[in-house]
């Protein structure tokens, strides 16, 4: 099994980046080569709209043992006339994906809140119907997103780059969901507090590349920065954090068995 091979090859420091906007990287081939060299075994490419979803699926097909796709409809991208087409694309292609994302609510965005909620509701239905983990973006909307997915019976979700309240974090963890950590741990007190509070068993590592962290434009190999920061906060070895978070990702999104999931 390829999954077992992946685990063996980089047993010392198996790393998984669960959130990468690969379609936005300027030097994709170079960055993927670098990621492989740095021991990153799996990268989850996330889409935000029709165009990026198509690109992510293509990149995954071109790099079948490294890149695994998630497709979504980001609140920033929602435009009323395009909703139907975006949802139809997700429905048609979700079977090739390891998750649905990036999706969620962004209450700082200009898109009307009700419209965002209507779209998210349809996407949550798809995630339940096709048994796919949700990769959630929440901005000034953590409580609302949590109550929506709870009311609809979602079992597995990743609250990406969690920086909401610790009270809500406890509910998120108690409900069986996960948070993912980014290189923002280098400087964001809210994000640090969340990682400190959550059990390692519920933490995943990511980069959200190519997001710029204090001027550093990120790439998938920077998941090593996230690893280093989580290890520092938890007072654990790099090896322990790498192994545990990778097992978390495999359990939630795997098996990563070489090629698009069918």
Residue number with the smallest Cβ distance to Zn ion: 208
6 or 145, CB closer to Zn ion?
145
Q: How many residues interact with Zn ion (rule CB under 5 A)?
A: 2
Only segment of 60-68, 174-182, 207-215, 248-256 that touches Zn ion (CB under 5 A):
207-215
Which of the residues 96 through 125 are near Zn ion (CB under 5 A)? 102
- Residue nearer to Zn ion on the CB measure, 31 or 208: 208
Would you say 66 or 135 has its CB closer to Zn ion? 135
**Smallest distance, Zn ion to C-beta of residue 129, A:** 24
Which of the stretches 94-102, 109-117, 189-197, 244-252 binds Zn ion when contact is defined by CB under 5 A?
94-102
Distances (CA, A) of 251 to 60, 133, 178: 20, 11, 12
Whichever of 6 and 90 has its CB closer to Zn ion, that residue is: 90
Q: Is residue 17 close enough to count as binding Zn ion by CB under 5 A? A: no
Closer residue to Zn ion in complex, CB, 102/229? 102
Question: Which x/- pattern over 140-159 shows residues binding Zn ion (rule: CB under 5 A)?
Answer: --------------------
* Cβ distance to Zn ion smaller for residue 6 or 32: 32
Tell whether residue 208 is a contact of Zn ion (CB under 5 A). Answer: yes
Closest CA to 193 of 212, 165, 168: 165
State in angstroms the smallest separation of the CB of 19 from Zn ion.
Answer: 6
Least distance from Zn ion to the Cβ atom of residue 24, Å? 9
State the minimum distance, in angstroms, from the CB of residue 12 to Zn ion.
Answer: 28
Smallest distance, Zn ion to C-beta of residue 59, A: 15
Q: What DSSP line would sit under the chain, residue for residue? A: -HHHHHHHHTGGG-EEEEEE-GGG-TTHHHHHHHHHHTTEEEEEEE--SHHHHHHHHHHHHHSTTTEEEEE---GGG--GGGHHHHHHHHHHHGGG-SEEEEEEEETTSSS-HHHHHHHHHHHHHHHHHTT-EEEEEEES-HHHHHHHHHHTT---EEEET--S-HHHHHHHHHTT-EEEE-GGGGT-HHHHHHHHHS-GGGEEE---BT-EETTEE--GGGHHHHHHHHHHHHT--HHHHHHHHHHHHHHHH----SS---
Residues that bind Zn ion (CB under 5 A): 102, 208
């Amino acid at each position: 099994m390829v999954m077992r091979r992946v685990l063996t090859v980089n047993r010392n420091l198996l790393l998984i980046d669960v959130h990468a906007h690969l379609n936005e990287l300027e030097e994709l081939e170079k960055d993927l080569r670098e990621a492989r060299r740095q021991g990153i075994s799996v990268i989850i490419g996330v889409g935000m709209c029709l165009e990026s979803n198509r690109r992510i699926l293509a990149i995954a097909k071109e790099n079948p043992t490294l890149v695994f796709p998630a497709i979504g409809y980001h609140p920033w991208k929602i435009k009323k006339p395009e909703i139907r087409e975006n949802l139809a694309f997700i429905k048609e292609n979700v079977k090739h994906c390891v998750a649905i994302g990036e999706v969620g609510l962004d209450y700082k965005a200009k898109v009307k809140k009700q419209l965002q909620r209507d779209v998210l509701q349809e996407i949550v239905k798809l995630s339940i119907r096709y048994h796919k983990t949700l990769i959630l973006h929440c901005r000034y909307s953590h409580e609302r997103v949590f109550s929506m997915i709870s009311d609809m019976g979602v079992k597995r979700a990743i609250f990406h780059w969690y920086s909401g309240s610790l009270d809500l974090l406890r509910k998120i963890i108690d409900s069986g969901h996960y948070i993912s950590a980014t290189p923002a741990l280098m400087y964001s007190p809210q994000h640090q507090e969340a990682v400190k509070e959550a059990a390692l068993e519920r933490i995943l590592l990511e980069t959200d590349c190519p997001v710029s962290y204090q001027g550093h434009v990120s790439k998938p190999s920077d998941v090593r920065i996230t690893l280093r920061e989580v290890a520092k906060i938890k007072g654990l070895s790099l090896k322990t954090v790498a192994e545990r978070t990778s097992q978390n990702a495999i359990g939630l999104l795997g098996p990563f068995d070489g090629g698009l999931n069918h």
